[in-house]
Amino acid sequence: MTISEVLSADRAPNLPAGFADTFTSRFVDTGELRQHAVVGGDGPPLLLVHGWPEFWYAWRLVMPALARDFTVIAVDQRGLGLSGKPETGYDTRTLANDLVALMAALGHDRFAVAGHDTGFAIAYALASDHPERVERVALAEIPGPPRAEASPPVFVPSHINDRLWHIPFNRVEGLPERMVAGHEDLFFGYEFAVQGGKLPGELVDFYVRVLSEPGVLPGSFGWYRALDETIAQNGERAKTKLAMPVLAIGGALSYGPAVAAAMRPLAGDVRETVVPDAGHWVAEQAPEALVAALSDFLAPYRS
């Protein structure tokens, strides 16, 4: 299946010219889950794991450059994009296992990983639970994997509340779907606007259209509703530092150096990149800077 069959040109803004010449849309049935990924390029495998409320498309601006040196696999995580949307399985151990199964089905036993936002938490779990699979891991734009001691208090300053209120809201069972349905433009539009930096209006409209399709909202909230499980898992993971090199990436207008600060107690080899003039959406706001940072970090893996 080609990219054009998945995303028509009139519905997918800012898709790089010639994208479909390099990348192919793949559906892989790994047993419990039918997963969707966009795959292309030449070289050692590099798995890209998007954040919330996006899907593989969030990486589109960095994928062509990375594909010159890597086989790029941009996945739709469980519950989002074109991957399956079961009712359960949104803790990061299960989500990491999804990706191990995907990469094995694609013929990759060892690979590098980059994760953003919720994809950060999934990539961290993948590196911790399956260190034999992960060569290097790049983690972008949350201040560390969710842990009990890092949970925000109930009352926080308004500038923090504005960015994090969705976390407790998304965790409520059943109610968010009823409140957001029919108001996806307001809810998701706010989330894209408040997280640091801005995305073009036509791009936000595209994400909102995808998130407004029937059956999407429960899977979108699934990661948040499994946070108790994920936090407990991360308490165990923190007992053993990651052994592979870690690149901690923060947007200067968002979490900045807080990403690396959070990862230093959890990994033995942490490098830091703060992307200038970028907010939370680093792959879309500063693709060239992100490609440069990833390429430099992954150079020993490529050689």
Per residue, the 3-state secondary structure of 222-259, as one string, reads HHHHCHHHHHHHHHHHCCCCECCCEEEEEECCCCCCHH
Catalytic residue among 57, 124, 207, 224: 224
Active-site residue, 280 included:
yes
Catalytic residue among 117, 124, 207, 255: 117
Between 26-40, 105-119, 152-166, 198-212, the lowest mean confidence (pLDDT) is in 152-166
Active-site residue, 228 included:
no
pLDDT (0 to 100) of residue 14: 78
> Does residue 65 sit within a domain?
yes
CATH of the domain at 251: 3.40.50.1820
Average pLDDT over residues 255-275: 97
pLDDT (0 to 100) of residue 156: 73
pLDDT (0 to 100) of residue 154: 64
How high does pLDDT run on average in the chain?
A: 93
Note the pLDDT tens digit of each residue in 55-104: 999 999 999 999 999 999 999 999 999 999 999 999 999 999 999 999 99
C-alpha distance from residue 174 to each of 28, 171, 217, 218, 219 (Å): 29, 9, 10, 8, 11
Catalytic residue among 36, 50, 116, 280: 280
**Strand-pair category, 134-140 with 246-251:** parallel
Residue with token string 């094995």: 104
Q: Residue 149 pLDDT more than 90?
A: no
Between 106-115, 193-202, 203-212, the lowest mean confidence (pLDDT) is in 193-202
Give me 192's structure tokens.
């894209």
> Does residue 164 sit within a domain?
no
Note the pLDDT tens digit of each residue in 107-144: 999 999 999 999 999 999 999 999 999 999 999 999 99
Residue with token string 């209006």: 201
Cα–Cα distance for residue pair 177/181, rounded to 1 Å: 6
**Strand-pair category, 23-29 with 34-41:** antiparallel
> Does residue 169 sit within a domain?
no
Average pLDDT over residues 162-181: 95
Cα–Cα distance for residue pair 146/118, rounded to 1 Å: 10
> Does residue 29 sit within a domain?
yes
The pTM of the full predicted model, rounded to 2 decimals, is 0.95
Give me 186's structure tokens.
């307001």
> Does residue 208 sit within a domain?
no
CB 265 within 8 A of CB 180: no
Q: Residue 9 pLDDT more than 60?
A: no
Eight-state DSSP code of residue 81: T
Note the pLDDT tens digit of each residue in 13-43: 778 888 989 999 999 999 889 999 999 999 9
Q: Which residue has the higher pLDDT, 239 or 197?
A: 239
Cα–Cα distance for residue pair 86/218, rounded to 1 Å: 9
Instruction: For the beta carbon of residue 35, count every other beta carbon within 10 angstroms.
Output: 24
Number of domains in the chain: 1
Active-site residue, 224 included:
yes
pLDDT (0 to 100) of residue 74: 98
Cα–Cα distance for residue pair 72/66, rounded to 1 Å: 7
Give me 103's structure tokens.
């990469």
Q: Burial, 57: exposed, middle or buried (Cβ in 10 Å; 0-12, 13-18, 19+)?
A: buried
CB 207 within 8 A of CB 192: yes
> Does residue 112 sit within a domain?
yes
Average pLDDT over residues 195-209: 89
> Does residue 211 sit within a domain?
no
> Does residue 205 sit within a domain?
no
Cα–Cα distance for residue pair 7/3, rounded to 1 Å: 6
pLDDT (0 to 100) of residue 195: 87
Domain boundaries, position 86:
3-151+226-302
pLDDT (0 to 100) of residue 58: 96
Cα–Cα distance for residue pair 25/261, rounded to 1 Å: 36
